[in-house]
Structure 1
Amino acid sequence: MKLSTVFKLTVAASALSVAAMASAAPVCTKLPPAKWLSQAQMKAKIAKMGYRDIKVFQVSGSCYEIYAHTKDGKRAEVYFNPVTGAVIQNNVD
């Protein structure tokens, strides 16, 4: 096999891996967005939970997702059920 073909295959495989990781958000709800808490309501709930310095607040699939710090200063990526506000997945550094 030519080196350029191997390189192209490696790049293609890497791109597929990145796409798979990007779509790896958990399933948080099956209810439509009309049933979700508003972003303002969710941000208030998140603040009461002790998360601070929210860098990112976004919709990720069927979840609200944040990048923030915990009350003890650790970095966190957290997925919430947008209907109940419950934590579905919490990745803390």
Structure 2
Amino acid sequence: MKSLLLIPFASLAFISTAHAGDDHRQCGNVAIADWMSENDLRTKVGAMGIEVRKIEIDDGCYEVEGRNRDGRWLEIGFHPQTGEQVWIDGDD
């Protein structure tokens, strides 16, 4: 009976892990012609108090690396058309 109970829980753990890895990639498939300019993104991110060190494209998102006012390193994903922040990772 124990092994039967573990199967659903093991499946849920796998699903949760796979989903968590995809949570921060919510940019969709926007045509490059519809992306906001890199300069507009730099302006937006600068207004957030972040010193931009690098901008890349990753999985359909703009990925910005930089430092906040406290010097903390951040990596932030932005939707390429709207400039909406879709995920963030940084120093703990």
Q: TM-score range by the shorter chain?
A: 0.5 to 0.7
1:48-92 CA deviation, whole Å, 9 max, x = no partner? 11111x221111121000110012221101111111111111112
1:1-59 CA deviation, whole Å, 9 max, x = no partner? xxxxxxxxxxxxxxxxxxxxxxx77131322111110111111111111111x221111
* d(CA) in 2 for partners of 1:55, 1:61: 19
Aligned identity (percent) is 26
**1:90 aligns with one of 70, 88, 91:** 88
Secondary structure, in 3 states, of the residue corresponding to 1:90?
strand
Structure 2, gaps ≥5 residues long: 1-21
- Count matched residues: 69
Query: What residue in structure 1 maps to residue 50 of structure 2?
Result: 51
